[in-house]
Structure 1
Amino acid sequence: MLIVIIFLILSAFSFYRRDNGLTIKLVMIFLAGISIFLSSKSSDFPIYEGYYEKVQPLYTVLRHWDFSSFDTEEKFEIGYALLNSFFKMFTAHVAILYIFSNAFILLLIYIFIRKKTLNSYKVLLPYFVFVFISIQVGIIRQAISIAIFFFCIRFIISKDFWRYAIGIILAGLFHRTALFLLPLYFLANRKFSNRLLWIIFGIGLMIYMQIIPFSPLTLLEGTANIFLPSIGDKLVFYLFQNKQLGAPSKFTQGIFENAIVFCLLIWARKELIKKGQYDSFLNVCFNFAILYIFIYIYLFDLYTFIYRLNYFFVFFKFMIIAKYIESLEWNYNRFIGTLLLIFYCAIMLTIRLIQGY
């Protein structure tokens, strides 16, 4: 019920032409405050709580130079282990760690979305549905990693590779999947033609439907050992999960949803360019949004891997969509655009609530 109420509030604020700077800050503070309540309801919370209880305080670890308490069955990354150990010096309650971590995450999200659109609620609403209730209150490690990645987008725009690399390595200390983002620096700033994107999309669909026989799962099974241990071990883990769970049906709502979103993104970019509102920031968002779709169709049988990786990209399409809605000249068109965005988020929220988010 609480999630539905928050969704309705964010939806109502999304209809305003411009957001109020004070209210968006208050909403962020509110989300940070309720995060521990929602986190305690997630299925992963007992695992994180149990890990926190096992970890020794940082001063004890450093005094004896004994990191054995970090090495548990969960195999959490060193950054998250150190964060737990640091907070263990001050409190035995994992709730404090969660509150501070969520406040940090939402601060970086606020920095990322602020002033990028006239109404930040149009992008905060999808973040709440697609990231906050799915990842931030459940898999706190990846949420921290995603927030750091969003902060690093500024280094792509300013073409500062080394700061971007340092940021991604830092993100990788909390979730190793982030290390796959490092080479994307060289693609994110480029402007790709619609023709090229349609060709890549068409080939991807033929691979997805196995008109072109190709299996990324088979390919990675033979190449996982060539990666660095931190990346290779993660790949091996995902490959193992794939075999344990079995392949899901291909023709789910996901493929149709992504096909529609692909067409919408191509159209939105064309219109934004025509109106002179397409800048370098939106270009990076567009490229990552398209990459999200390509990952989905090309890596179709690595579903446990793309499930984790795509959370880094799922948010970017809404930056483009929100900007496109705001670019519409007539109030009626903006109203319909906002209504459709809310309707789409409502459908996805319903699916997540049914699945236990």
Structure 2
Amino acid sequence: MPYYLLTYFFNSFSLYVKKDQRKFVEILGLMFLIFLSGTRYCLAGSDYYVYEGVFNRNASTVNILKYIFTGVNNGVNINYEPGFLLLNSVVKALGFNYHGFILIVAIIFYTFLYCGVKKITDQWGLVSCLFMYKLMFYNTFISIRQGLTIAIFIFGLRYIIEKKPIKYFLLCFICYYIHRASLFIFPLYFCRYIPVSKKILKTVAILFIPTWFIRGAVNLEGPIMSTISFIGFESKSEGWASSIEGISLIHTLECYIIVFLVIYFWDKLDMTDNTQKMMVQFLLVLIPIFTLLSNWILFTRLKDYLIIVYAILLTYIITRSRTGDLNRVKEMKFIKLVRPVFLMCCLVGMIRYVLVFDGGVLMKFDSILFHFLSIFN
């Protein structure tokens, strides 16, 4: 736990340093994150050993490329995406062992994530704290394939903003060959056409509240199984059609708190700015995921691609409020509370996740550095 807390406080500290010192502190915070995700040792339950087995028994780079381009299978593991297997084989061919693979994946992940976030907001600290609560453990410790596609997607958001569909869809195909569940991000390009206004956001939020109570009556097994049949990997993905591990009420309430803050401080957002507008459009997509569709495992996965909009929207509100003219004293005090309360909530959420996940298995962080293990074969 101390290593998680140190990393959290260091990343949040970047919000309180001078602007000319901020990048240096952010990079150091990024190195702490790479340390956690990239040097972890025997953490993440059975997935750690599953991916180790995939790495150690992986086919050669030539055979995987042959499989991708010709369909000829010479020992390629068909239970995993060829893009992910290719990454394994390239890293292995460079002389790295499984520990080295985990470290390289972490470096790739955080490079894409940091560059993607910095293109959207300069408040990395706020986003990284939300990330440590909502995404870090599951998407860099456990489901590393999904994690990679999330980071690449966040990097690719610039292409939606800049209206460059070819570049965006190219990244989508790369994600698809790493993790088939990322098929979800293809249609997200068209979210930019969703109409946005304060009234629309308020109306959608209100209309979907009662749907949370009838979510058990929503049966998506047919459409989900059809999608699984289309993308393949039926044996590994059939759990997606299950409704036994839905999104908890706590996470739904979190979504609605952000919606409330966005509505309340709507005048602090600039809907003529494509980036800010797109974040609100993604928030509109999240509302049905956290209500009507919240009972389905598939959507508990898909929400992770969009969850960072919480922090990004708050950075716009806070930044605009500093430069704007606040006539109401109460509003000024409210805005000043937003950031510290948000950081505290993320901290509590992160600690709670560590305590309850798999009986507290993440409590004691262990690193290959503590055992003087090499990252090379």
Partner of 2:276: 282
Partner of 1:315: 308
2:62 corresponds to 1:54: no
Conserved in 1, the CA contact under 8 Å of 2:26 and 2:124?
A: yes
2:104 corresponds to 1:104: no
Partner of 1:70: 77
Partner of 2:240: 238
RMSD value, Cα: 2.9
Conserved in 1, the CA contact under 8 Å of 2:7 and 2:29?
A: no
Unpaired segments ≥5 residues, structure 2: 327-331, 363-377
2:171 corresponds to 1:170: no
TM-score by length of 1: 0.85
Alpha-carbon deviation of 1:62? 5.9
Partner of 1:267: 264
Distance in 2 between the 1:349 and 1:167 partners? 30
Query: Are residues 57 and 9 of structure 1, via their aligned partners in 2, closer, same or farther at CA, if it must alter by over 3 Å?
Result: same
Partner of 2:29: 27
Q: 1:147 aligns with which of 148, 151, 154?
A: 151
CA offset digits 1:186-218 (Å, max 9, x no partner)? 1235442233333332332222112xx8733x2
Conserved in 1, the CA contact under 8 Å of 2:228 and 2:238?
A: no
* Higher relative contact order (Cα pairs below 8 Å, separated by 6+ residues): 2
- Among all aligned residue pairs of Structure 1 and Structure 2, give the percentage whose two residues are the same amino acid: 18
Q: How does 1:1-357 map to 2 (within 5 A)?
A: 1-16=2-17, 18=19, 20-38=22-40, 40-43=42-45, 44-59=47-62, 66-71=73-78, 75-91=79-95, 93-114=97-118, 116-210=120-214, 215-216=217-218, 218-221=219-222, 224-225=225-226, 229-230=230-231, 233=234, 236-239=238-241, 241-242=242-243, 246=244, 252-273=249-270, 279-302=273-296, 304-329=297-322, 335-356=336-357
Conserved in 2, the CA contact under 8 Å of 1:265 and 1:317?
A: no
Alpha-carbon deviation of 1:313? 0.8
SS at match of 1:40: coil
Amino acid at match of 1:229: F
Distance in 2 between the 1:325 and 1:138 partners? 33
Query: Are residues 259 and 231 of structure 1, via their aligned partners in 2, closer, same or farther at CA, if it must alter by over 3 Å?
Result: farther
Query: Are residues 334 and 39 of structure 1, via their aligned partners in 2, closer, same or farther at CA, if it must alter by over 3 Å?
Result: farther
Conserved in 2, the CA contact under 8 Å of 1:53 and 1:92?
A: no
Unpaired segments ≥5 residues, structure 1: none
Distance in 2 between the 1:352 and 1:286 partners? 27
Distance in 1 between the 2:44 and 2:198 partners? 41
Amino acid at match of 2:139: I
Alpha-carbon deviation of 1:184? 2.0
Distance in 2 between the 1:189 and 1:152 partners? 17
CA offset digits 1:300-334 (Å, max 9, x no partner)? 221x1111111101111210112212222389766
Distance in 1 between the 2:245 and 2:291 partners? 14
CA offset digits 1:282-315 (Å, max 9, x no partner)? 211222133223211121221x111111110111
Partner of 2:367: none
Distance in 1 between the 2:122 and 2:66 partners? 51
Distance in 2 between the 1:224 and 1:232 partners? 11
Of 312-321 and 109-118, more deviation after overlay is shown by 109-118
SS at match of 2:44: coil
Distance in 1 between the 2:351 and 2:137 partners? 12
SS at match of 2:339: helix
Distance in 1 between the 2:207 and 2:233 partners? 27
Amino acid at match of 2:284: I
Of 44-53 and 156-165, more deviation after overlay is shown by 156-165
TM-score by length of 2: 0.81
Distance in 1 between the 2:24 and 2:312 partners? 21
- How many residues are paired up? 342
Distance in 2 between the 1:152 and 1:117 partners? 14
Distance in 2 between the 1:345 and 1:33 partners? 20
Distance in 2 between the 1:33 and 1:81 partners? 24
Conserved in 2, the CA contact under 8 Å of 1:58 and 1:82?
A: yes
Alpha-carbon deviation of 1:34? 3.6
Alpha-carbon deviation of 1:39? 6.0
SS at match of 1:208: helix
SS at match of 2:137: helix
Query: Are residues 20 and 115 of structure 1, via their aligned partners in 2, closer, same or farther at CA, if it must alter by over 3 Å?
Result: farther
Query: Are residues 157 and 222 of structure 1, via their aligned partners in 2, closer, same or farther at CA, if it must alter by over 3 Å?
Result: closer
